[in-house]
């Protein structure tokens, strides 16, 4: 506040004027009682710079406090993807491990988008697509590799709505692809 003092014939008049000051930026509310990125490191997960998209799309789109993540596949640490059909070429256990690799790829892309995983309010929705042999019906168990990792990283905030569906084929014969929607703080 700034006070303006005016002396006139009839006496002293004090006028109080609001000063134009920029509003202070609101502090980011602490969502976790631990550091999410330290938890990721303690899980022996290394986040990397996500690869550039291979076609005419982007890794993520943010609108308001929602981040829509493009589908990611199971990148192996040594390079390449986990490929093959569940129920023909891969077991449920191998598919679960591939789902965990997809979670790591999505965490890397999410960190690139928001800068700090401690800003994640909630993993909102997940669509898990499993490259499946015609008679394979254990897609939920495969996608659990992704979902369990999100809960391990974000606790209750990692629980999400989800679909786990079988596909006749996925790009480049990858075993699993997952896309997700995430709510974040500014």
In this predicted model, what pLDDT tens digit does every residue of 4-52 receive, in sequence order? 444 455 455 544 444 544 444 345 569 999 999 999 999 999 999 998 8
DSSP 114-175: HS-GGGEEEEEEEEEEEEB-TT---HHHHHHHHHHHHHHHHGGGG--EEEEEEES--GGGBS
Tell me, what's the pLDDT at 166?
A: 98
pLDDT the model gives residue 186: 86
Gyration radius of the chain's alpha carbons: 24
Predicted confidence at residue 54, as pLDDT, reads 83
Query: Is a pLDDT exceeding 80 seen at residue 157?
Result: yes
Query: What letter does residue 21 receive in the DSSP assignment?
Result: -
Q: How far apart are the first and last CA of the chain?
A: 29
Instruction: Determine the pLDDT at residue 183.
Output: 98
Q: Which CATH architecture has domain 36-184?
A: 2-Layer Sandwich (3.30)
pLDDT (tens digit, 9 = 90+) per residue, 60-118? 999 999 999 999 999 999 999 999 999 999 999 999 999 999 999 999 999 999 999 99
Closest to 112 (Cα-Cα) out of 160, 184, 178: 184
């Amino acid at each position: 506040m700034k006070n303006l003092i005016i002396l006139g014939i009839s006496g002293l008049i004090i006028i109080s004027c609001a000063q134009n000051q920029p509003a202070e930026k609101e502090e980011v509310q602490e969502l976790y009682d631990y550091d999410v990125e330290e938890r990721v490191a303690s899980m022996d997960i290394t986040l990397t710079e996500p690869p550039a998209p291979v076609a005419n799309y982007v890794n993520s789109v943010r609108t308001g406090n929602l981040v829509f993540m493009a589908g990611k596949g199971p990148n192996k640490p040594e390079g390449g993807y986990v490929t093959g059909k569940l129920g023909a070429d891969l077991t449920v256990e191998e598919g679960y491990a591939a789902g965990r690799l997809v979670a790591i790829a999505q965490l890397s892309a999410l960190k690139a988008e928001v800068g700090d995983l401690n800003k994640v309010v909630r993993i909102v929705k997940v669509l898990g697509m499993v490259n499946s042999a015609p008679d394979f019906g254990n897609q939920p168990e495969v996608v659990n590799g992704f979902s369990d990792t999100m809960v391990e990283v974000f606790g209750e905030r990692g629980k999400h709505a989800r679909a786990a569906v079988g596909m006749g084929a996925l790009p480049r014969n990858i075993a699993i692809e997952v896309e997700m929607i995430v709510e974040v703080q500014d």
